[in-house]
């Protein structure tokens, strides 16, 4: 009888150790990354990269805008300093617009619109 009790106890111990090993292996397999985790990580990385690119573009645009504003302000300051140094150089009257150097060059800054009747056939005169 004690022999049977002892064998039962040994079987019970062996089963307990097997259950512990099984639980450890299950926990280890759950803690390891699988393909879904890898896909999730790649998706997260792609989102971060897109956000970083967007922020970079916005920052560059802001830097360009600030730089342009600063350069314009510096130009205005320099122009006002030049005007203050030599007021005799500048008249109160604005200069008239200059004619283009070549007569066949179209002045794109001209304000009046050129009206055309469109395509016209060559007339035999």
pLDDT digits (tens, 9 = 90+) for 17-64: 999 999 998 888 877 778 888 899 999 999 999 999 999 999 999 999
Same domain flag for 20 and 46: no
Q: Determine the Cα–Cα distance for residues 108 and 100; give it in Å rounded to an integer.
A: 10
Reported pTM = 0.41
Domain tally for the chain?
A: 2
pLDDT digits (tens, 9 = 90+) for 1-19: 778 888 889 999 999 999 9
Domain, as residue range, for 68: 35-85
**Is 83 in contact with 90 (CB distance < 8 Å)?**
yes
| 113: confidence class by pLDDT, cuts 50, 70, 90 | very low
Where residue 118 falls (left for φ over 0; alpha for ψ -120 to 50; beta otherwise) is left
Q: Please report whether residue 109 resides in a domain.
A: no
Higher-confidence position of 125 and 35: 35
Identify the residue whose tokens are 């304000």.
111
Same domain flag for 19 and 58: no
Same domain flag for 43 and 19: no
Same domain flag for 26 and 47: no
- pLDDT for 65 equals 92
The mean pLDDT of the chain is 79
């Amino acid at each position: 009888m004690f022999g049977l009790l002892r064998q039962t106890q040994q079987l019970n111990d062996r089963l307990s150790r097997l259950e512990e090993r099984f639980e450890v292996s299950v926990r280890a397999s759950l803690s390891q990354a699988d393909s879904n985790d890898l896909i999730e990580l790649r998706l997260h990385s792609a989102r971060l990269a897109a956000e970083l690119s967007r922020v970079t573009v916005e920052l560059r645009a802001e830097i360009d805008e600030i730089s342009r504003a600063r350069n314009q302000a510096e130009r205005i300051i320099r122009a006002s300093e030049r005007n203050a140094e030599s007021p005799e150089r500048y008249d109160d009257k604005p200069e008239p617009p200059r004619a283009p150097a070549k007569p066949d060059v179209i002045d794109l800054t001209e304000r009046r619109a050129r009206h055309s009747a469109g395509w016209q056939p060559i007339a035999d005169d």
